Structure 1
Amino acid sequence: MKITHWWLGWKHCYLDKTSLEIIDFNKLDSKLASILRDEDKLKKLIKSIVSSIKKI
């Protein structure tokens, strides 16, 4: 988690624990669009985000 003078905190989202590629919700590129259209990938992303939030 990173903290700046204008944000309390923020963290990058990843598809899963082994992925090093950041999911950027600020820009709807083809990779993010394909994740959002694929039910299994979307569930995996949601599970990863929820797990990350619970740790914090």
Structure 2
Amino acid sequence: MSLASHLEELQRKHGDLDRAINEAIAHPSADDLEIARLKRRKLALKDAIERLKSHPTRH
């Protein structure tokens, strides 16, 4: 997988998680632990994206 396609995939997953978080927050019966778990996954993806952008030759 090329660097560009890997970044695109991570960015797609990040966007998917953002939408999932927004949907979960919109429901009054939202599980706070699930929302926190989704936010941690989103942050981990953001960190991975930033690492790849700043050091494209190292993964």
TM over 0.5: no
TM-score, with normalisation over the residues of structure 2? 0.42
Answer 1 or 2: which has greater helix percent: 2
> Which structure is larger by alpha-carbon Rg, 1 or 2?
2
TM-score, with normalisation over the residues of structure 1? 0.44
